Amino acid sequence: MCPEPIMKEKVTLKQVYHKERGQSLVELALTLLIILTLLAGTVDLGMAFFSYVALRDAAQEGALYGSINPDTDGIRDRVKSSSSTPIDFSAFPDEDIGVQIVGNACQGLTNGEPNGVQVTVTYDYILTMPFIGAILDTNKIPLTASVTDTILTPACP
């Protein structure tokens, strides 16, 4: 006598797809969260770098002005009027714009240190993405740009 064949339940492709649909959604949610966090951090750090470039340009503008007219208040005014975007320098307090006459202005280097007028500008870039600040454990990125130029006026002997 032949044994009766055992009937197995036939699994269709539609049933397999239906069972995996929830898994795909969870994978998408987790992956999207990671990708968007990286993208937001990249945009925020790119804007911080853009602000640093503006800060460096403002310090260079002040040092160039100071090399021709070494007046501390005039240098600060020149830095404050250098740009309004992405950083509004006109609202900067004077303590964030350091001006210093270093060494003998007419001698290039002394003991490896540059001489002349040194302009240092500091700025705290505030992160725009709040969860990036939680990851970095700070809400600000301190930026500092410093430029030293030789004083040309009065003319060096």
CA–CA separation, 66 vs 100, rounded Å?
10
Q: Which pLDDT belongs to residue 151?
A: 77
State the total domains in the chain: 1
The band of 54, judged by pLDDT with boundaries at 50, 70 and 90, is very high
Distances in whole angstroms, Cα of residue 128 to Cα of each of 58, 107, 141: 23, 44, 11
DSSP-derived 3-state class of residue 118:
strand
Task: Report yes or no on 4 lying in a domain.
Answer: no
In tens, the pLDDT along 14-29 reads 655 556 667 888 899 9
Percent of the chain predicted with pLDDT > 70: 76
Residue 56 scores a pLDDT above 90: yes
Helix (H, G, I), strand (E, B) or coil at 147: strand
Q: 121: exposed, middle or buried (C-beta count within 10 Å: 0-12, 13-18, 19+)?
A: buried
d(CA 70, CA 153): 8
Q: Let me know if residue 154 belongs to a domain.
A: no
Query: Is residue 53, in this structure, part of any structural domain at all?
Result: yes
- How many CA within 13 A on the CB side of residue 95? 0
Q: How far apart are CA 69 and CA 128, in angstroms?
A: 38
Does 121 fall in a domain? Answer: yes
Task: Classify residue 156: in a domain, yes or no.
Answer: no
Region 132-157: mean pLDDT is 81
In a domain, 62, yes or no: yes
The reply to whether 10 falls in a domain is no
**128 found inside a domain:** yes
Q: 85-91: long-range contacts at Cβ-Cβ below 8 A with a sequence spacing of 24 or more?
A: 85/54, 86/47, 86/50, 86/51, 86/54, 87/51, 87/54, 87/55, 87/58, 87/123, 89/58
Domain limits for position 31:
15-149
The pTM of this model reads 0.74
Identify which of 136, 115, 114 has the alpha carbon closest to the alpha carbon of residue 127. 136
How much is the pLDDT for 15? Answer: 57
**In angstroms, what CA-CA distances link 20 with 9, 23, 25, 28, 108?**
19, 5, 9, 12, 71
